[in-house]
Structure 1
């Protein structure tokens, strides 16, 4: 059984349930006949009588406790699948689909009318992994979206502009750590309209593209203007990192031409194009680069 098989059977039994249905041969249809012993093959066709459909409906109801006549697809969530079936992995969503990673430089999360202590003097922590859907109120004035995971544990170690010091920091997410990008973006869409949304990313085309596409983003957090040239020309800057970001650079140039960006962001785009260089968040930290906020528009 798979999600595709369930949907295939659901579509079949709802098609003229009191009549015989002929379908073109397919791997899914053949697996239904083999698995449930309903229907038969005739040349390159699969034949399902009204009785076959009735039996298929009964067998799936018995297996899942779900009537495929009224439910086209199995639940998305593993816990919901577990209520009906022994194989929770039939769920569409991975176990971590709604998880986000959050932190705050002052070690206190202000969420759901609570103040939650995070930082420990004894254990370095990247923050708290939690469900985005479990947050129904954010009392932080600002939210900082972080591009790179290692930076999350260092949020209290940077010298930050005042707007970032007591902010909620959230990891943008990826496909490996368990913190999901979709969950991060969902949180920003729900709460970002009346918050200062700050994007802390690499100083490179991809980092700026992220800043320009984050929901409700107001500011980019990065090296002070006076440090741009030194950073991009330093031996720690990456030219190969820039070279693999041509599509992001094209996006930035297109957006820049619309004149909707602030002067500092436009200036940085042009300098990135000139220097063909990338300067990462990790280097900002280890080389103690002073950070500033730049309005995006």
Structure 2
């Protein structure tokens, strides 16, 4: 038996969950059937909550599952990445093209505000008459980047609105990379591998939502700077204008303790004015809303 990438990732999640339990579904049922581990915990329905079914894996069984996977495919769930080639490679070697293969493995989406990608000592020009989100590339084939910086873009929509920023020198000369889905095993993992490989050669900036999560994501990437609205222009907006371009439920729901504000002390000094402004107004602003408002973007290091 060779377990799939999906099953491997779920086993890893279970082993790391420390008996907290995960929603019982078909994949967890497969784990229980294959390995005879774990059990269902049924939480009865009440007048306020629906019935819940969790899949529980006790600590001793978690170690056993980890050992079983190590013996089965030679990987340690907590340290080793499940990588077994793309689907064409697997089709040539196995009867199942999907065995262990993620279709988006090694793929990232890149773009530039002027529509010119400068990679591997070559210049690739996108359609001048069509505003494109960029090109999907195999990042392991990128040996050199002839841009001045790498910008991580949080959301997908701004990727094909970058042409609006082509006169901003920061975007004009940078390689913009779409962060992708943050779920484990999705495109975000490939972006992280790409960033880890090239961040020592180029400055790394983050272009995301102006909200608590945006600051948190930027911090997690250990960026050299954060691209935010020009605070002198943005702070001059009226309360009505700020409300109009604010995303729905982009402030309090993102804070880990409800009404607790984002603590600026853990973030660079250059970001404090924006954090104070956000906390003061108790609002968060998404990239799409800010782009529609034609605000000026600046780099804060």
TM-score range, shorter chain: 0.5 to 0.7
- For the residues of structure 2 that align with 1:135 and 1:225, how far apart are their CA atoms? 36
- For the residues of structure 2 that align with 1:206 and 1:248, how far apart are their CA atoms? 13
Q: Please give the TM-score of this superposition, normalised by the length of structure 1.
A: 0.68
Residue aligning to 2:96: 87
- Give the C-alpha shift of residue 211 in structure 1: 1.4
Map 1:250-269 onto structure 2 (within 5 A). Answer: 252-253=262-263, 256-258=264-266, 261-262=268-269, 264-269=270-275
- For the residues of structure 2 that align with 1:201 and 1:208, how far apart are their CA atoms? 8
2:286 to 263, 280, 290: 280
Secondary structure in 1 matching 2:150: strand
Residue aligning to 1:238: 247
Q: Tell me if the contact between 1:238 and 1:278 (Cα under 8 Å) persists in the aligned partners.
A: yes
Unpaired segments of 5 or more residues in structure 1? 8-25, 31-68
Structure (1 or 2) with the larger CA radius of gyration: 1
Q: Please give the TM-score of this superposition, normalised by the length of structure 2.
A: 0.67
Residue aligning to 1:103: 111
Q: Tell me if the contact between 1:104 and 1:168 (Cα under 8 Å) persists in the aligned partners.
A: yes
- Alignment coverage as a number of residue pairs: 230
- Give the C-alpha shift of residue 195 in structure 1: 1.1
- For the residues of structure 1 that align with 2:126 and 2:257, how far apart are their CA atoms? 35
Post-superposition Cα deviations, 1:134-189, rounded to whole Å, max 9, x if no partner, equal 1111111111111110101111212654232111111011169x981111111111
Sort the Cα spacing of 1:115 and 1:27 in 2 relative to 1 into closer, same or farther, 3 A: same
- Give the C-alpha shift of residue 88 in structure 1: 1.9
- For the residues of structure 1 that align with 2:291 and 2:148, how far apart are their CA atoms? 24
Map 1:140-159 onto structure 2 (within 5 A). Answer: 140-158=147-165
Sort the Cα spacing of 1:109 and 1:159 in 2 relative to 1 into closer, same or farther, 3 A: closer
Residue aligning to 1:227: 233
- For the residues of structure 2 that align with 1:75 and 1:281, how far apart are their CA atoms? 33
Deviates more, 1:129-138 or 1:243-252: 243-252
Unpaired segments of 5 or more residues in structure 2? 9-31, 37-70, 76-81
2:209 is equivalent to residue 202 of structure 1 = yes
- For the residues of structure 1 that align with 2:132 and 2:147, how far apart are their CA atoms? 20
